[in-house]
Amino acid sequence: MTKWEAVIGLEVHVELKTNTKIFCNCSTEFGGDPNTHVCPVCLGLPGTLPVLNKKVVEYAVKAGLALNCEIASYSKFDRKNYYYPDLPKNYQVSQFDLPIAKGGYLDIEVGGETKRIGIHHMHMEEDAGKLVHQGTIMASPYTLVDYNRGGMPLVEIVSEPDMRSAEEARAYVEKLRSVIQYTGVSDCKMQEGSLRCDANVSVRPVGTTKLGTKTEIKNMNSFKALQRAVEYEIERQIEVLEDGGKIVQETRTWDEAKGITISMRSKEEAQDYRYFPDPDLVPVVIDEQWVKELRDGLPELPDSRKARYVEQYSLPAYDASVLTAIKEMSDFFEEVLDYFPQPKVVSNWIMGDLSGLLNANQQELTDSPITAKQFAELLKLIDQGTISGKIAKTVLEEMVATGKEPATIVKEKGLVQISDEGELTKIIEEIIANNPKSVEDYRNGKTAAIGFLVGQTMKATKGKANPGLVNKLLKEKLQ
Amino acid sequence: MSLNQMTAHQLHQLMVNKEVSAEEITTAVYKRIDAVEEKVKSFITLTKEQALETARNVDKQIAAGEKLSPLAGIPVAVKDNICITGVSTTCASKMLADYVPPFDATVIEKLNAVGAVMVGKTNMDEFAMGSSTETSTMHTTYNPWDTDRVPGGSSGGSAAAVAADQCIVALGTDTGGSIRQPAAFCGVVGIKPTYGAVSRYGAVPYASSLDQIGPLTKDVTDGALMLNAICGHDHRDSTSAQYDVPDYTKYLENNVQGLKIGIPKEYMAAGLGANVRQVIEGAVATLANLGAEVEEVSLPHIKYALPAYYLIATAEASSNLARFDGVGFGYRDTDADDILQMFIKSRSEGFGEEVKRRIMLGTYALSAGFYDAYYLKALKVRTLIKQDFDQVFEKYDLILSPTTPTPAFKVGENIDDPIKMYLQDIFTSSVNLAGVPSICLPCGFVDGLPVGMQLIGKPFGEGTMLRAAYTFEQNTEFHRQRPAL
């Protein structure tokens, strides 16, 4: 039992999926040649003024509601003043003391236990541009600035320091992503930076309540990296403290290749951002009726969907939570049921083979050509005994790769199951003749030996033999 | 009277009657510029070719028998902190000496749309910070009434250009009095519209919550015509008001019968030069004789207006001017070893002394530990001042006060004494804090120098303000006097 306890709080930036930037009409499309999605406003040219995109407020309210927050009827934008070359105005328009949403929570599940993580607040802000260095930042002879990202709409979701392990931190961000994705306000792609997360980590002796000195970790580009970085940092801090050292308040960066956190800059002297209300923007006044409409318009969120799956489809809680974690997956599941109403079978195939295949290809469900109807057709082919489960895996692979109908694939490749007793009997007799040792083992009571003979039969038929029939016929012959 | 000495409404009539062409007017203006610019130095940039082209287009319209907008073919001078596509916008600063904006300010779009002729960009205090146009990095502008004296600031170039007949009308910006104070010094009409009445889009900001673009003109009628052209909601400016813009010329009525005008006793107290006081009292008497009801009123918190103004304005300025860092545009020091040094050197070399002073003041006022004591306190004072005005306006239609404590002072007289310079805005800055409109018009002379009177209106009460100013003008001769250059 460790004598240290970790305290973790997360700041998650989510990029909202609006068509235009937060304060101008520039495109928010990802990519594009450097400095092509820019205009005088997002470049901060002198004389330009920001005008708030109403869609950003709508999306922020939706996200806030989904995170169980209270939506502020009156909030405002402030300027956060600091110098950085990727920041066109050298202040970031953000929200300070009056954010759009406050006081929410998310329930996470870790080790079979449900835990509630508090959300302190969520605020809206503009993103900065991107610096492009040649080689490493220190050795680069020059730095280029791409302002395409400047002015992209963000919400920052600040959790309470309620997490106690790297696993909880990961579960929180995964749940957060799931909920936000459900609302449709962001695609939350960590690899494209539309979900970015900073972790504040400190440790303290178990049983104490005073917070230890924290460090902030940045630059984690995947859930795995988040978990590893936090794990590493907790261990590092414990080691420093056990060696009689002191934790320095600082910002650290996660080095994925080395698997360590590295000091970026000291925060001993707190940065003075000189926040003050942005005089170029009027306060954000939100009508209660509008919030109600947005609340009513929210889709079913993962928690209630999960509960419904257990209730309506009698699925195990585990299946229900895996299926509902990603909205597309969940929607797909329900659509497949329309054509093939056997929830547990569908669930097994989605969670098992389909997910495995997509993961192996590093594909999202939405990237693959497979439709719910096609998937249901495949399951029907198994159900009808046209193909075996094993053959189905091969067919599925082909479907994901080409988007062809399962029946077409089966036909083209001649994969129809052999259920003809006469044909199978001939093959089985041959197998029995060629494997006297196994036959003898079986007859001497080693019933497991039949498995080998089944395997040989399947091999001889290239997997097309109906396995149930093979078993039955083999047992008859060996009597 | 030569063409360039006339008002816009006079010239409009001549053009409508085909007695004169727009090109002739523009040519007359440039001829005058050639003649007196050496002495006055109102301009930073002249845009003669474009101006003549616009004028010729207007003449084509006239020839085609099209209906002419009141400002079509009228030469306008533009303060150099208002962006015009393709024309350098320097803010009279080394920082932006080579900056050419790729877009038009909304006011420029609007003036272009009615066929106004842009003659050039006028000199100003650097980034609109100053009350004498002496902080310009380009050169000092001189007062056409006495070229040993300043034209006021920060819209000193625009005021001087109108007074010296180098243009017909001009645009300025007013953050704490920067249109009205130079209007007073140069003996022209200057209007600071209600905050939100004119879009700020395209005006390089000094202090966003106080800045407002407004006209400088030779008489009140031209002021009304300019308001007609530039007022109105703009979707590109969140602080731009949604309101029905009236036809301001409808208010040009020679009648102040029943208008209730309050004179704040705090403004007529000690500190106001005796000779200026006398002139103002004369103007008050004139309005009273014409039928206005004039009474003394009190604005109890007005004594805090100037410090509150300087805290809020500098705080906003410190942030607004942060973008001038040598990265995206404007002046860059190229010798620095690293990015921090580049920021520091670019800003140290690019900004003048007064700008740096205000950035530092504002940075201090916003810094942790001082925010509550300074910035927040100033915001509270601002609210109290607004309430003072609201209270007076419950009973009165207008407030009348001097525009400046003295007539134009000599070049160099105050430049080394910032506090004395800041006192120039003592009667004007409260108007910006309250967001109300105000007009300055000539109301007399002291030792041959013009003195301005300020009429302050209710929010969006420009019409009443114009009516009183017009009546005063119609019954006096001050606005007809021209400087002997």
pLDDT digits (tens, 9 = 90+) for A302-359: 999 999 999 999 999 999 999 999 999 999 999 999 999 999 999 999 999 999 999 8
Burial class (CB in 10 A: 0-12, 13-18, 19+), A302: buried
Mean pLDDT, to the nearest integer, of A157-175?
97
Residue B182 CB-half CA count within 13 A:
45
pLDDT single digits (tens) B210-226: 999 999 999 999 999 99
Q: How far is CA A256 from CA A171, A259, B138, B219, in A?
A: 20, 5, 54, 71
Q: Which residue(s) pair with B474 in the sheet?
A: none
Nearest CA in chain B to A273: B367
Interface mutation target, options B320, B337, B341, chain A, most CBs of A under 10 Å: B320
Using an 8 Å CB-CB cutoff, list residues of chain A that contact chain B.
40, 43-52, 79, 81, 83, 85, 88-91, 143, 145, 270, 272, 274-276, 279-282
Structure tokens at B267: 């403004």
Q: How far is CA A29 from CA A20, A33, A35, A184, in A?
A: 8, 11, 12, 16
B214 closest CA partner among B155, B150, B164: B155
Structure tokens at B143: 């007062």
Of these residues, B41, B42, B79, B429, which one is catalytic? B79
Count of CB pairs separated by less than 8 Å, A with B: 102
Concatenating the DSSP letter of every residue in A305-321 gives HHHHHHHHH---HHHHH
pLDDT single digits (tens) B83-136: 999 999 999 999 999 999 999 999 999 999 999 999 999 999 999 999 999 999
Residue B243 CB-half CA count within 13 A:
17
B330 closest CA partner among B306, B307, B350, B352: B350
Q: How confident is the model at residue B194 (pLDDT cuts 50, 70, 90)?
A: very high
Q: Contact at 8 Å (CB) between B238 and A282?
A: yes
Nearest to A47 among B83, B209, B367 (CB): B83
The beta strands (E) that lie in B274-393 are given as: 293-297
Q: Contact at 8 Å (CB) between B411 and B150?
A: yes
Model pLDDT, residue B273: 86
* Yes or no, beta carbons of B238 and A280 under 8 Å apart: yes
Q: What is the mean pLDDT of chain B?
A: 97
A241 DSSP 8-state letter: H
Interface mutation target, options A276, A278, A281, A282, chain B, most CBs of B under 10 Å: A276
* Yes or no, beta carbons of A40 and B237 under 8 Å apart: no
Mean pLDDT, to the nearest integer, of A198-209?
95
B218 closest CA partner among B5, B70, B428: B5
Q: Contact at 8 Å (CB) between A249 and A215?
A: yes
Q: Contact at 8 Å (CB) between A150 and A126?
A: yes
Q: Is B178 a catalytic residue?
A: yes
Phi, psi of B135 (to 5 degrees): -85, 0
pLDDT single digits (tens) B26-40: 999 999 999 999 999
Q: How far apart are CA B266 and CA B93, in angstroms?
A: 36
Residues on chain A touching B316 (C-beta within 8 angstroms): 276, 279
Interface mutation target, options A274, A278, A285, chain B, most CBs of B under 10 Å: A274
A6 closest CA partner among A173, A200, A198: A200
A187 DSSP 8-state letter: -
Q: Is B298 a catalytic residue?
A: no
Q: How confident is the model at residue A269 (pLDDT cuts 50, 70, 90)?
A: low
B226 sits in which H/E element? helix B220-230
Q: Contact at 8 Å (CB) between B137 and B94?
A: yes
Of these residues, B21, B131, B132, B154, which one is catalytic? B154
Model pLDDT, residue A467: 80
Nearest to B375 among A40, A276, A282 (CB): A276
